[in-house]
Amino acid sequence: MRILETKSRMKSTSLREVQRQTNRDYRNAIEELRRDPERGFQRLEEIGAVHEVPWNERAAVVAQTWENASGVHMDCTRTVLMVCATHDEIAKVTSAVRDARKRVGKLGNARQLAQDVPLRWTAAQKSDWRNFRPGHVIGFHRAVKGIERNATAEVVRADSRGVVVRVAKGEERTLTRKQARSFEVFERRSIEVAAGDQLLFTANRRLPGFHATNGEIVTVDHFDDYGRVYLGDGRVVPQDYTHLAHGYAVTAHRSQGKSVDEVIVSADGMSRELFYVAASRGRERVTIVTSDADALRESVGRTAARPSATELARKALLRMDRGIRRGFAAACDLVRHARRPQPEPGVERAVRQVVPERQRHEHGIGR
């Protein structure tokens, strides 16, 4: 997209005025962050949005900030989102938030649900049968022979012919390398879910009576006697829908497109693009919790935009051109040096006799 905007003759339209933020100081800081990340980060510090805390206390501080912002002690419809730099930090923050909610009675009875965690294998990894283990779950985003789209299957074994999986009806199918781009590989885990929990859907699903959108955050209302999950909006989560996680904290990538009343960002490092996305999700307020404000400020000044092939080629040509110019200049110097007249042997002997050796060295004579 960047190449199309800057190098092609296509006409493009861009938004130049921030509309989401209703707080003027917050809006001005986000506008400055878009233009100049370093000055934008300084504006965030000036409005008191940046808080530096010890790293071992950060998860607890973030959880407390979420608790204060969302009104966990009272019935409140205020929306708050936490954005973390890593999945490890998401796990720590989520654990701290759920512990706080349990203490004040905001979480009810809990159940253990099946959760499929993506392993994010490449096509090459999915084509290597040695990577598969019995119990791995295969999710099909494209139909293959004998298996429908959105179906799941469990790995039974892997041999030289391919991966043998068991589908819902108990039948076994063999996957080939040609089908590697039709599925993703997951690890089946268990997740504790309680009434009142926030959940994040991690895969699309379109079924009669149930629609789920990847990245959607929902609230659990209750469970029925069969263990089915009823959501606050009335939907019932099918028991075979296992693409879910706790929805209190997300990565900056996941936060794109979301708007909340307040956003809490927890990070020691984040690229320019991701930090702008994370910090601009709020309408009224942003809180940034970090253990190293200087490191975060420095990372925000770096872009994560990958150069295109044409940009890399242009840089290579510039380096080649500079090398040719330096080589040509060096060759010219050598030619000039070769043409410079050398003193006759008799003159050099006379100089050595008249001028003392120490002065000859000082003035570079006879070297």
Buried b (16+ CB within 10 A) or exposed e, 64-103: bbbbebbebeeeeeebbbbbbbeeebbebbbebbbebbee
Q: How far apart are CA 225 and CA 208, in angstroms?
A: 22
d(CA 11, CA 242): 43
Judge whether 165 and 154 are in contact, CB under 8 Å. yes
Q: Which pLDDT score, from 0 to 100, does residue 161 have?
A: 81
pLDDT at residue 337, rounded to an integer:
77
Cβ atoms of 95 and 115 closer than 8 Å: no
Q: Is 309 exposed, middle or buried (0-12, 13-18, 19+ CB in 10 A)?
A: exposed
pLDDT of residue 349: 57
pTM, rounded to two decimals: 0.74
Four-point Cα dihedral 142, 147, 153, 158, nearest 10: -90
Taking a C-beta distance cutoff of 8 angstroms, is the pair 51, 289 a contact? yes
Q: Which residues contact 280 (CB under 8 A, 6 or more apart)?
A: 18, 20, 21, 30, 33, 263, 286
pLDDT at 75: 46
Instruction: State the pLDDT at residue 163.
Output: 92
Residues 6+ apart with CB under 8 A from 243: 116, 139, 201, 202, 203, 205, 212
Positions in the chain short of pLDDT 70: 1-9, 12-18, 72-77, 304-312, 340-367
